[in-house]
Structure 1
Amino acid sequence: MQFKDYYSVLGVEPNAGEAEIKSAYRRLARKYHPDVSKEAGAEDKFKAVNEAYEALRDPARRKAYDQLRAGGYRPGDEVPPAGFGPGGPAGFDFEDVFAGGGAGGGFSDFFESLFRRQAGGNGGPRARGGAAAGAGDTRARVAVSLETVYRGDSVRISVDGRSFDVRVPPGVRPGQVIRLARQGSRGGDLLLEIEYAAHPDFEVDGRNIIHVLQLAPWEAALGASVSVPTLGGRVELKIPQGSEAGRKLRLRGRGLPGAAGAPAGDQLVELEIQAPAPGKKAQREAYERLRDAFADEWRR
């Protein structure tokens, strides 16, 4: 299988921090999102960006990937199965099988081989989230999209070469386990531990959803009505005049569903103000007029 340079995919250096990696992911995921981009090959690029972020956002996965990358592999180089070592590169021990079917669809063979543990792990299979694993049970982590958690859809996952259609309950929490009876690789049950896939537009805080909304200076100063994404579809949000960067506006009930009759979370829209670069003479002149109009007050 061929080596993938996940840092190059995201356009960051190998020593990039968590915030820089997240920022690069958001920018590229929005650029290549199939619902937005008309660029040829956008869907494949979107999947590649999602896979790279899934590999680098988790410290354990990133450490394992960096160990393999230190061997001098370059994009397109063939990586022999022996290069991964038992349970991961350079002997890195993973507890979990990372099941396909995460953000943007299934991951590449390179990703799944890199992050796949040996069956049984150390000390026998275990499950988190309150579901005890029997001796013959198989455990896997499954990354599901926030839209799936919001709606409660069925998703197709692949574990050890077998595919399953799994019903994800609305509002399921990370760490909770879905049990598929007698579907384990050794005749036991298959225990699927849920985690949330990375999303280009949203962060999760409990049951609340956080979305960063970029505003032009005049929208923040004068007020505006702006279309914003939510897990249930786009809605119009009224921006009060005089809004400042960092202000949070609340869309009640637009977060993740609550379990057992608990109320749904909210969506918090955090305002970020960006000044577009003046690409035309008229735009530059407009900035100059703005500068002159505020020259006596701005620094005070």
Structure 2
Amino acid sequence: MSQRVGVVGCGRWGSKHLHALENLAEEADIECIVACDVNPIALARVEDNRILLHNDPHTLVEQFDLDSVIVATPNETHYKLGTMFLNKGVNVFLEKPIATTFDHASSLVSTSVHEGKTIKSGFLLRFHPCIIDARNQIRSGKIGAIQSIRYCKNVQRQGDESSHALDTLAIHGIDLAEFLLDGQTPLRISEVVGSRTSCALTLEYPNQVEISIDVGWETETDVAELEVIGRNGRILVQLQQHEQYQILQDHSTIKSVEPNHTPLEAVLLDFLQSDSSSSAASTGSILRTIKCVEQARLQLTAQGRSKTRELKR
């Protein structure tokens, strides 16, 4: 059945969503793509005649008879927009975080259940072809039991002034840890230091597994990598590279993969097709990740440098 999809927010990331939807149009049977932004300058940058334009999210669903909406607006707007679109009876893909508080995130999930609609979030690294392959290697015992995971995302560009590095950048590392550890959740936030624009976070998981996350905007160089250290070796993924990664044991092996889609295309295809065997984060996983981020942010704000603190279950 053909689908009609709207994208709310046509900035840097929203424009990537529009491009991905165009690439998926035939495969996902997308009949109509609508770009929506209250900022006329952002809307004017959409230069594709195949994409319809609209300037009011409140009338978007009714005017274009949409089936699904993707929200790629500033973090603090996600809760209100997500709630509004779910109540209008459409499936909603909210860029991460789906909300900036655990209570608001829980409310969104409850609304989706009440309305019988899908809510998913932008944890696209679960769909990174190298990470998918690396996860299979880990499950097969290639590097032995996981001892630690290191996630780094540093970018030279400025971040959104209203966003926090924990909510926007570190959240991917927390989600990847749960993905690679098959649903295990952190026992403690051992340390969190930094500021709104850059943070370092250490989490302790069962079996003495430690997760180190280093993220920030306005850094000297761009770094995007994931390292998984096992008892018998380690895996290193350069996240901008979708076709190969390294397995390091007695010697280094380059492992090649053949991606069918970019991570963004894959996560959107999953949303639009509602595959029951999805790799996407479940609503429970999303809520656990939001809760961890919220507690880390509160600790950082209240103490500057945190002390070890157990996560509330």
Task: Specify which structure has the higher proportion of helix.
Answer: 2
Task: Specify which structure has the higher proportion of strand.
Answer: 2
Q: TM-score range by the shorter chain?
A: under 0.3
> Larger C-alpha radius of gyration, 1 or 2?
1
What TM-score, normalized to structure 1?
A: 0.28
Q: Which has the higher contact order (CA 8 A, sep 6+)?
A: 2
